[in-house]
Amino acid sequence: MRAMRIRTPASVEGLYLDRADAPPPGPGEIRVHIRAASLNFRDALVVGGVFPARDGLIPLSDGAGEVVAVGPGVTGFAVGDAVVSTFHPTWADGHVERSELTASPGGPADGYACDHATRSVSHFTRAPRGLSHAESATLTCAGVTAWRALVTDAQVRPGATVLVLGTGGVSLFALQFAKAAGATVIATSSSVEKLGKLKALGADHVINYRETEKWGEAVLALTGGLGVDHIVEVGGPHTMGQSCIAARTGGHIAIVGAVGGFDIDTLPFAIVQAKRLRLQAVTVGSRRDQTDMVRAIEANGIRPVIDSHFPLERLGDAFRHMQAGGPFGKICIQL
């Protein structure tokens, strides 16, 4: 097995290639030839030492590939099946306790920057038919998070209005799922070029959040003063004020991330209260969310947006490409 590992103190420069024997699957386990992985914002935090990581950890929460061996007692998987990894292997469905959300691949557990992985069956679901391994490898974190936010929690309906912020992995999936659900989508970006790509992907309206500082007011104007029904909030405390302005009375805001930084800690309480806003935080999603999303991707012919591919040995370059801020779509690792 080839694997990229983190040397502590963690840094992109400290990533190193390692070789080891891949164990055969035990009872209830499958061995997967990982053919592709993808990078998420959180992986950069793990590799950069912002999230704690043990020495030797294999990073990357998202992997996809083909089952090559099946252990005793395994049902539901067979050799040759195309599979995609799960973010919370012990969260099957419904309510989950915080204590059950602590073993995510890519940190603190080993992830998928490796060409073989032997894991219990709960670490994988089937992949969507018709997608490449790289496309499937984009789904675990960003795809399931967008699905959870808009479909499981928000129950987005045809005719609803949805606001997505920036062109990160979660936001592009949110745009695609919202359009598949029949919603009108308003999307933002700091880049003129990316605004064009958002339109090509189906966004009905786009706003440059760098040029239009009060983009919440611009969203209100686009919705006849009403505001949007749903917002997938990936910006964090720095964007929350404008998001609350952009929301409709009784609107739903999925609290997902903080690409704008955590360095302030404020909630626009008065607007939240006056508009009766519904704030629902998201921690990726369950196995059920993932299997529902896989079916929806097949039914709607959705193709994940991929920016670029890097070989495993160039994982460090992949992170540097991500941090340069130019990508539109997921950065994938080919194995």
Ligand X SMILES: NC(=O)c1ccc[n+]([C@@H]2O[C@H](COP(=O)([O-])OP(=O)(O)OC[C@H]3O[C@@H](n4cnc5c(N)ncnc54)[C@H](OP(=O)(O)O)[C@@H]3O)[C@@H](O)[C@H]2O)c1
Q: Which residues in this chain contact ligand X in the complex, by CB under 6 A? A: 40-42, 141-142, 145, 165-171, 188-191, 194, 209, 234-235, 238-239, 256-260, 282-284
Tell me the closest approach of the beta carbon of residue 264 to ligand X, in angstroms.
12
Considering the complex, state which of residue 46 and residue 160 has its C-beta at the smaller distance from ligand X. Answer: 46
Tell me the closest approach of the beta carbon of residue 67 to ligand X, in angstroms.
26
Tell me the closest approach of the beta carbon of residue 98 to ligand X, in angstroms.
13
DSSP labels for 218-235? HHHHHTTTS-EEEEEE-S
- Alpha carbons 58 and 328: distance in angstroms, whole number: 25
Nearest of 190, 49, 144, 131 to residue 332 by alpha carbon = 131
- Alpha carbons 99 and 96: distance in angstroms, whole number: 8
Considering the complex, state which of residue 40 and residue 184 has its C-beta at the smaller distance from ligand X. Answer: 40
> Left if phi > 0, otherwise alpha if psi is -120 to 50, otherwise beta: which for 107?
left
- Alpha carbons 96 and 295: distance in angstroms, whole number: 23
Q: Note if the bond before 25 is cis, omega within 30 degrees.
A: no
Tell me the closest approach of the beta carbon of residue 111 to ligand X, in angstroms.
14
Tell me the closest approach of the beta carbon of residue 147 to ligand X, in angstroms.
11
Considering the complex, state which of residue 139 and residue 220 has its C-beta at the smaller distance from ligand X. Answer: 139
Tell me the closest approach of the beta carbon of residue 318 to ligand X, in angstroms.
12
Nearest of 124, 18, 106 to residue 68 by alpha carbon = 124
Considering the complex, state which of residue 22 and residue 174 has its C-beta at the smaller distance from ligand X. Answer: 174
Considering the complex, state which of residue 118 and residue 188 has its C-beta at the smaller distance from ligand X. Answer: 188
Considering the complex, state which of residue 63 and residue 168 has its C-beta at the smaller distance from ligand X. Answer: 168
Tell me the closest approach of the beta carbon of residue 241 to ligand X, in angstroms.
12
Q: C-alpha dihedral over 147, 150, 155, 157, to 10 degrees?
A: -110
Residue carrying structure tokens 């189906």: 202
Strands 228-233 and 306-311: unpaired
Tell me the closest approach of the beta carbon of residue 20 to ligand X, in angstroms.
29
Identify any residues that bridge with 228 across adjacent strands, giving them in sequence order.
Answer: 247
Q: What are phi and psi of 55, to 5 degrees?
A: -60, 130
DSSP labels for 93-162? SS---GGGS---BTTTB--SSBSEEEEEGGGEEEPPTT--HHHHTTIIIIIHHHHIIIIIIT---TT-EE
Considering the complex, state which of residue 30 and residue 245 has its C-beta at the smaller distance from ligand X. Answer: 245
Tell me the closest approach of the beta carbon of residue 322 to ligand X, in angstroms.
6
Report in angstroms the alpha-carbon separations of 129 from 82, 132, 282. 8, 9, 27
Angle at alpha carbon of residue 312, lines to 33 and 335, rounded to 5°: 30
Considering the complex, state which of residue 186 and residue 256 has its C-beta at the smaller distance from ligand X. Answer: 256
Considering the complex, state which of residue 82 and residue 151 has its C-beta at the smaller distance from ligand X. Answer: 151
